Amino acid sequence: MNVLWVLVNIAVLLAIIFGLYTMQRKHVSFSKRVFTALGLGIVFGLVLQWIYGQESETLKTSIDWFNIVGDGYVTFLQMIVMPLVFISILSAFTKVQLTNNIGKISTLIIAILVGTTAVAASIGIASALGFKLEAVQIHQGDAEMKRAAALEEKLGKVEDMTLPEKIVELLPANPFLDLTGDRPTSTIAVVIFSAFLGFAYLGVKQKQPEQAEFFVKIVEAVYAVIMRVVTLILRLTPYGILAMMTKVTATSDYDAIWKLGKFVMASYAALIVMFIIHLLLLTFAGLNPVTYVKKVIPVLTFAFTSRTSAGTLPLNVKTQTKELGVPEGIANFAGSFGLSIGQNGCAGIYPAMLAIMIAPTVGVNPLSPSFIFTLIAVVAISSFGVAGVGGGATFAALLVLSAMNLPVGLAGLLISVEPLIDMGRTALNVSGSMTAGVLTSKLTKELNTDLYAAPKQGQLEV
């Protein structure tokens, strides 16, 4: 390892970061800064691999230092996820217009999220079959074998649980522990705990209005502070994306990616088709899908580059309320529920495709109608409790594959292309939650159609 070249690499990264900071000082839009960071990260990473080689110690040491920026950014996002979900759900209950409609709104949002996930599973199955994907076609290297062993170990924690036990596992036995994100199902547990507090607030509002009013002020104050913390973290996005994309492109095995190119194509074909279905649902509801696309592109861009549905939550809610005409309470419900229920990309398409690929390795016919219908049902049920930051797709795949009695270790074969596919999955997850918010508002006749149809208000700013 050459220490001098490591220092040079770090200096180049810092220079690029300074350039991005200068763009921020000059009030260049957030979307442009994110795309610039994405492009520079890709180029910088490719150059580093070309100069040093993928296995170079100099490169590995440089990436370790880059991870302070990239992994640090992800850690900050993880830090704020649980407080953000908690206060968003609680805030939704304090909105006056939801008081008499909460049960209907919650049911509609969950039904749309789970229903679209079942549709996404069907599309994933069709894509895997159409592209003739099979796990036996994929080479198992050292990284894939390590990944497989890790998945097998992770499965051991949930494999021996019955379905009723898995359902009980979703409940918040210790909400303070779940607020730390200690369990894979912590996100939905926090949602449930927040909902209990919300219903308790509605009861207090009827019997003790003064205390309820005081509680609302506390919630609004905490919400304002949490959203300010989120804004501070989101301002780090260009720098985090720069470091993460540099790492991905500098350390990726491009031979493996090339060999897995068919899986990448099949995945994005399914993701695009499902996004089109979101637009068709809006069209059937009497809304202009082109208007939707124009207004949500900045949010989906952020989700695509950051690879976190949870980190996108504040932008998700803001766009629903300020651009799409969704009431704030419904937007908070849809955005928060979408972090742990019915993620179309991570919990729908991905595990369904894996199951179809892996089934032939154990003598199961993936074309069997009984297998396909069972798989769709299992995917829909398993979509509850999928985490919104990192590992959500893996957890969903573990649940689905174990429920279908398929070997989970083979899911590790896709580790080389995981980051590339996860970008598209995350964007689709966010689109699914926003679509649920808009459709629910339309069905309950609370959507501000004039605001929805109005021209885009402006650039996404953070």
- pLDDT above 90 coverage of the chain, percent: 33
Residue 200 lies in a domain: yes
> Is the distance from CB of 310 to CB of 389 less than 8 angstroms?
yes
> Is 264 a domain residue?
yes
Q: Would you give the DSSP letter of residue 133? A: -
Give mean pLDDT, residues 305-326: 86
Q: Is residue 462 part of a domain?
A: no
**In which band, very low, low, confident or very high, does the pLDDT at 430 lie, cut at 50, 70 and 90?**
very high
The answer to whether residue 416 is domain-embedded is yes
Give the HSE-up count for residue 384: Cα atoms under 13 Å, Cβ half-sphere: 17
Question: What pLDDT is stored for residue 79 in this prediction?
Answer: 85
CA-nearest of 113, 31, 192 to 438 is: 113
pLDDT at 264: 87
Average pLDDT over residues 253-260: 70
From CA 415, how far away is CA 256, in angstroms rounded? 10
With a cut of 80, say whether residue 326 has pLDDT above it: yes
Taking only the tens place, the pLDDT of each residue in 195-251 is: 899 889 988 988 898 998 999 999 999 988 988 898 888 889 899 989 988 988 888
| Contact yes or no for 393/425 (Cβ under 8 A) | yes
Which residues 6+ apart lie within 8 Å of 290 measured at CB? none
Q: Is the confidence at residue 157, as pLDDT, over 60?
A: no
Percent of the chain with pLDDT over 70: 86
Q: pLDDT for 344-402, tens place per residue?
A: 988 899 899 989 988 888 888 888 999 999 999 988 887 776 655 555 677 777 778 87
Confidence of residue 115 (pLDDT cuts 50, 70, 90): very high
Residue 302: pLDDT over 60: yes
Residue 278 has pLDDT above 80, yes or no: yes
Distance CA 277, CA 280 (A): 5
Q: Is residue 12 part of a domain?
A: yes
What pLDDT shows up at residue 144? 47
* Better-scored residue on pLDDT, 401 or 9: 9
Q: How many CB atoms lie within 10 A of CB 454?
A: 13
Residue 314 confidence (pLDDT): 83
- Residue range 79-102: mean pLDDT, rounded: 77
Phi (first) and psi of residue 139, to 5 degrees? -75, 140
Q: What's the number of CA atoms in the CB half-sphere (13 Å) around residue 381?
A: 15
Least confident of 180-184, 215-219, 451-455: 180-184
Q: Does residue 113 fall inside a structural domain? A: yes
Q: Is the per-residue pLDDT at 162 higher than 90? A: no
In a domain, 459, yes or no: no
Total domains, the chain: 1
Domain range spanning residue 403? 3-453
184 confidence band (pLDDT: 50, 70, 90): low
How confident is residue 148, by pLDDT bands cut at 50, 70 and 90?
very low
What is the residue-averaged pLDDT of the chain?
84
Task: Report the CATH number that the domain containing residue 427 is assigned in CATH.
Answer: 1.10.3860.10
For residue 40, the model assigns a pLDDT of 93
**Confidence class for position 418, pLDDT limits 50, 70, 90:** confident
Establish if 25 belongs to a structural domain: yes
- Over the stretch 39-70, which tens digit does the pLDDT of each residue have? 999 999 999 999 888 788 888 999 999 999 98
Q: What is the pLDDT of residue 443?
A: 92
